[in-house]
Chains A and B, each alone.
Chain A
Amino acid sequence: MIRNVFRAALVSLGLLTGPALAEEPFIVVQSTTSTQNSGLLDYILPWFEAETGIDVRVVAVGTGQAIRNAINGDGDVLLVHAKADEEQFVADGWGVERFDVMYNDFVLVGPKSDPAKVKGGSDIVAALAAVSEAEAPFASRGDDSGTHKAEMRHWKTAGVDPTGASGTWYRETGSGMGATLNVASGMDAYTLTDRATWEAFGNRGNLEVLVEGDPRLFNQYGVILVNPEKHPRVRAAAGQRFIDWLVGPDGQAAIESYQLNGQQLFFPNAN
């Protein structure tokens, strides 16, 4: 019995050290769930990896957490969507330089029954005001993510402080976009989502897109190299190579060509 346990231990040891010995160069990219859940990164990264031999390891969390992880040095590249916070990140010295990569847009989704009567509109601020007026269930990310920050901006413009209604019609999930969509789907609530996650989402239930097309729903993604002067172990050369590729013609073309359900989800706009 003991001998068997030891044998099992040795076998698993062999399996464990196997891949670690043949280590390829890699970088860690702190990114947001939308780029992963939509399938974009799985689609474009193999091109970069084939061209450079650099393995890209993506940690997909909310933008707020991604930025904090990058401040701790736990990533070489930051790929997120909250421009003001990204610029702050660079201004504070944590990042080297910020580059625009691509954009898409946010949409307001909600139940087909549409108790707040916002369907077909293109004014996000008016729509949120109507939701709060009707006290219709609204699921908020509540997690300091890029989408959450965007949502809070629109509430502010609407002159509504929804957090006062937290726990009643305003429900903060404190979770990722997918988890929040699951909640909205389960309780027929409105929620603000990036279009990419929505298109890739499989459990829509009664939800549909109700408000879209407001210029204020613009959603810009940026990429930043984590500053090696702050964290000397940052894989700066490989990370810079990834950024150069992403904002260069090959990366931009790869982003342009990604489609889901016959729809382009991300629009490259690097300068």
Chain B
Amino acid sequence: MQGFATEFSSAIALILNGDAELWAIVLLSLKVSIFAVLISALIGMPVGAALAVARFPGRRMLIILMNALMGFPPVVVGLLVYLMLSRSGPLGVLELLYTPTAMIIAQVVLVTPIVAALTRQVVEMLAEEYSEQLRSLGVSRLASVPVLLWDARLALVTALLAGFGRAIAEVGAVIIVGGNINHVTRVMTTTIALETSKGNLALALALGAILIGIAVAVNAMVSTLSLRAEKEGLRHA
């Protein structure tokens, strides 16, 4: 194993010595996953909040379904998106297969249930807490959604980070719809899969370490931002 340790550290050094190709891969991973999380937020937060406050038949079923979808196997999502975007599929004319956009779509499908389910949980708790106040102000249930979302914003950041974690670490879906094409759709996770298949285990592991480093950096950045926002919020209050 000593040989492996040396190999691993030299791989890390190689990577950190400004390999332009690698940084392009890192950047693409970030772009795809950040974009996917933002779109998922736009869809998942309103849906989750609406499910939290609205009362209609089948609501429980929907909530159970949404919670279950948090564990949707990425390979299945990849297959579904592939079948949609294939030239033989219904959306084939868009020519999106094997592009970063296809990878974003797959990640949106994976991340939206997480954002929606966690949003539902947070907002439902807040809605119960404030139900009397909202009722006395004459705010209808659905109209209270924006207020509740705004009040829950710090908890929602955590929901987004959970979604980001799923997106950036995922390989099964993006390798099917992206094709792991060099310089076009190759991201961190598909590079790791490729290097593993070449038997370059030290290099693959070093890339994994970089991926974890990036995830830590993104989480630290977001938590600093939300801490600052919290302090500002207190000052304004």
- Partner-B contacts on A (CB < 8 A): 1-2, 4-5, 8-9, 12-13, 15-16, 28, 33, 36-37, 42, 57-60, 72-74, 176-179, 181-182, 185, 200-204, 231, 233
Contact = CB atoms under 8 A, between A and B. Distances in A.
A231 B87 CA distance: 8
A213 B182 CA distance: 34
B165 interface: no
A42 B199 contact: no
B197 A202 contact: no
Contacts of B226: 1
Interface stretch (B12-20, B92-100, B138-146): B92-100
B87 A5 contact: no
B65 interface: no
Chain A, interface SS category: helix
Contact of B201 (A4, A72, A202): A202
A182 to B, nearest CB: 6
B155 interface: no
B220 to A, nearest CB: 15
Nearest to A176: B197
Nearest to B97: A74
A73 B197 contact: no
Given A4-B225, A28-B98, A73-B92, A178 B197 contact: yes
A9 B38 contact: yes
A126 B20 CA distance: 49
B181 A15 contact: no
Given A1-B225, A73-B86, A60 B196 contact: no
A60 B88 contact: no
B139 to A, nearest CB: 21
A37 B98 contact: no
Given A178-B197, A178-B199, A58 B88 contact: no
B86 A74 contact: yes
A202 B199 contact: yes
B180 interface: yes
Contact of B198 (A9, A15, A202): A202
Given A72-B86, A72-B88, A233 B95 contact: yes
A61 B30 CA distance: 25
B199 A182 contact: yes
Given A57-B179, A58-B182, A202-B199, A12 B34 contact: yes
B212 interface: no
Contacts of A202: 198-201
B166 interface: no
B225 A73 contact: no
Interface string B161-194: 0000000000000000001111010000000001
